[in-house]
Amino acid sequence: MEKVKAYGSIGFMSLMFFATIDTIYARALGDYAVEAIGLRAWSGENQMGIHLSLIYFFSLFLFGAYWVEKYAREGLKINKKTVFLLFLGLNTIFYLSTGAVAKNVKATAEGLSTIGLEPTEENSVFYDFENGQYTDFEADITLKNYSDEEKMFYLIITERDNDEFTKIYD
């Protein structure tokens, strides 16, 4: 039972830390968990303001760290290096698993667009806006088709506050 508590506390601490991290394919998993129980993940709208789920899950992370100290370090005498390597290994597994699941869902989910923005550092969008109109617009993006079907991609730019299309040129 002591081993379960020790290694369970390391797993819990690792999972609570991972719940605070945005990944390439999804926002922080803690955001989804918090919203699933009816709480707000952010104090503002559109992921703006104070990141509340970061506060929630960091608090749980600290409880996990206390349990790691109590059950793993003091109870089973697991050294700090081993705890750190387990923590790092578990978070690497969580990260790789999240990416694999997201790619699989994107490729196979019925009715979900299989074309997505490929997360690269080269992606960029530049624009000039004068007198209420776009005067220059340039987008350099990389897209990926996650399915085996051939797909067509269209870019539509909309205003943030309404559903009307924005005129880019006359």
pLDDT tens per residue across span 82-107:
999 999 999 999 999 988 887 787 77
pLDDT tens per residue across span 18-52:
999 988 777 888 999 999 999 999 998 878 889 99
Domains in the chain: boundaries? 2-108, 113-170
Q: Which of 57-61, 98-102, 157-161 has the highest mean pLDDT?
A: 57-61
Find, among 4, 41, 3, 23, the residue nearest to 93 by Cα.
23
Cβ atoms within 10 Å of 91's Cβ, excluding its own: 16
- State how far Cα 162 lies from the chain centre: 26
Q: Can you say whether the dihedral through the CA atoms of 117, 157, 108, 28 is positive or negative?
A: positive
Q: How confident is the model at residue 170 (pLDDT cuts 50, 70, 90)?
A: very low
> Whole-angstrom Cα distance, residue 64 to residue 73?
12
Model pLDDT, residue 5: 92
> Is pTM, for the whole model, over 0.85?
no
158 φ, ψ to 5°?
A: -120, 155
pLDDT over 70 at 165, yes or no: no
